[in-house]
Amino acid sequence: MMNPNDIRNIAIIAHVDHGKTTLVDAMLKQSRIFRKNQAVAERVMDSNDLERERGITILSKNTSVTYKDVKINIVDTPGHADFGGEVERVMNMVDGVLLLVDSVEGPMPQTKFVLRQALERGHKAIVVVNKIDRANARPNYVVDTTFDLFIDLGATEEQADFPVIYTNALTGEGGLDPERLTDNLEPLFEQILKDLPAPKVDPESPTQLQATLMGYDDYKGKIAIGRLNSGKIRKNQNVLHIATDGTQHPLKVSQVFTHRGLQRVEVDEADTGDIIALTGLGNVGIGDTIADPEDPRPLPPIKVEEPTLRMTFGVNTSPFAGREGEFVTSRKLRERLYIEAEKDVALRVSDTDSPDTFLVAGRGELHLGIMIENMRREGYEFEVSKPEVILKKIDEKWHEPVETVEVEVASEYQGAVVELLGRRKGQMTDMTPLNEDTIRYTYQVPTRGLIGFRQQFLTATRGEGLINTLFAGYQPYSGEIPTRNHGSLIAWEDGVATTYGLHAAQERGELFLSPNTEVYEGMVVGRHIRENDLEVNVCKKKQLTNFRAAGSDDSMRLEPPHDLSLDDALEYLGEDELLEVTPKDFRIRKRLLKKNERRRQQKHGGKVEK
């Protein structure tokens, strides 16, 4: 059995792209986890395809390294606020954190969110200033602003007196002085052993473990992951499952696993204080307690912030329904959504009056978008509505979610960005010149105003602007916000788009598809340059005659279509539009496909039922 004093449970927290997954890579390599001849992928902890494609961490994952006979369990956490539910859970099973900050940018908005969670739980932090080799590195400024951040977040004197390590994670170098780095990360390992505490656990007390993360294996079934707070857990041991609602069920542990490097290794008995994985626990959910049947002691349930956005998921009702998906029924869709809600505590799923439609609430557009993309890749076919904010009634008045928005723009684009944010009810709270050409603005903006904003922001800054957002709380409802200044180009009839038809339509706006694409009546084929919708006949063919002007067909040049990503399509959606999602494609469509039905709706001035 391992002494709890020889265990450290730590989380690495940082803003997106500050290098925490790369640092974990370096720590693993220097701990000789891999064989000398083993091929190791970059960002080995980003095991999910979407994580590798987007270059972000979405799911919390844990690994372990051994240094001087001390086992260090490391949890790699998401840096994006939309996945804050993952972070809030992880903080329950660690005893300290590594706060990673970029040597140029310093602490960013999403660093604040995760750090607040750690400080509120009393965790100590080691500040790691990464990318120290960057040309414009300013380590002293970064350490000073990090200290200010600790004070702003209400850190205790002990927490604010943090040690600082300087690293270059790509090359695996670290040191106490930014000018003198060693060729390894030993200074970081030494600091972890010195400054971050061992888990406060009691091996003699009854068994107590809280399921903090959930995994799934095709052969082993559901896997519950958490820290063993007290007592022991052995293979085939009888335990008591205490759900968050207080109900209790006797269970038997099938297998016990611990982490060594990236592998789960089966053991007969787990060490108190270690982060372990258990199988055979049936319907155990996140936040549930595994306890001793003779002396059951439930742990407090995990609390996470409420969702701020919601959208409807429904069975695909377009003319192309059932062509491309493997799972197309409401039963399969409902089953999948509720499984996701079990794994993700920040997600809420509920049934609606319609058996084919479900209401799904999450932390933000990215949170919901990642789930949609995962389901699409698994073979599901469905349709979703435009995201809308969740309002709260406080003191008999409606309040709406508000976000802190930080934008960095070149001075030549600042006028356009200030106008965009002002139109969306943004209130400027700070303006900081970063250099001669770049300014950082801080705004408080209603979440409603940010739906569909990113695309307009990138257009206004020619793709050069940087934007970061963080949920700031609820404020009184600020009235109507005009977020969409364009209409849609809508297919007039079913058929196949032709070059001739698209050439005529492109004069009216920006197209989303190319020739020979199959379309149906009511499908959105482009963005109109004006505010109203316009039906266009993209299937129109050129009339054949006996006369042919030389070279007339060659002169029909089409502009390249705007190939929408899933995120772009979700931002584009209007109130009366749906996004049809299939494993092969996604299409924007009107809720009412027939033009006479849409005109009747407009004539009566009513809103389409959601």
Q: Could you report the per-residue pLDDT of 527-552, keeping only the tens digit for each?
A: 999 988 999 999 988 766 655 554 45
* The residue type at 475: Q
Task: List the single range of 7-11, 78-82, 224-228, 493-497 with lowest mean pLDDT.
Answer: 78-82
Are 169 and 131 in contact, with CB atoms under 8 Å apart? Answer: yes
Q: Which element (helix H / strand E) includes 420?
A: helix 414-423
580 has a pLDDT exceeding 70: yes
Sign of the Cα torsion 226, 229, 235, 241 reads: negative
Give the global pTM: 0.72
Q: Is 132 annotated as a binding residue?
A: yes
Q: According to the model, what pLDDT value does residue 188 have?
A: 92
Ordered domains of the chain (ranges, CATH): 4-195 (3.40.50.300), 208-291 (2.40.30.10), 309-385 (3.30.70.870), 392-476 (3.30.70.240), 488-573 (2.40.50.250)
Q: Is 133 annotated as a binding residue?
A: yes
Q: Which residues are CB-contacts of 283 (< 8 A; sequence separation ≥ 6)?
A: 222
Find the mean pLDDT for residues 181-198. 91
Separation of alpha carbons 241 and 252, rounded Å: 10
pLDDT in tens, 240-279: 999 888 888 898 999 999 888 777 888 998 888 888 889 8
Radius of gyration of the chain (CA): 27
47 has a pLDDT exceeding 70: no
Mean pLDDT taken over the chain: 84
Q: Is 271 annotated as a binding residue?
A: no
As a whole-number percent, the residues of the chain with pLDDT over 90 amount to: 35
Q: Is 177 annotated as a binding residue?
A: no
Q: Is 19 annotated as a binding residue?
A: yes
Separation of alpha carbons 200 and 299, rounded Å: 15
Separation of alpha carbons 447 and 513, rounded Å: 30
Q: Which two tokens stand for residue 394?
A: 């406080």
Q: Is 131 annotated as a binding residue?
A: yes
Q: Is 130 annotated as a binding residue?
A: yes
For 43, phi then psi, to 5°, come to 50, 55
Are 100 and 19 in contact, with CB atoms under 8 Å apart? Answer: yes
- Name the pLDDT band for 36 (thresholds 50, 70, 90): very low
Are 281 and 291 in contact, with CB atoms under 8 Å apart? Answer: no
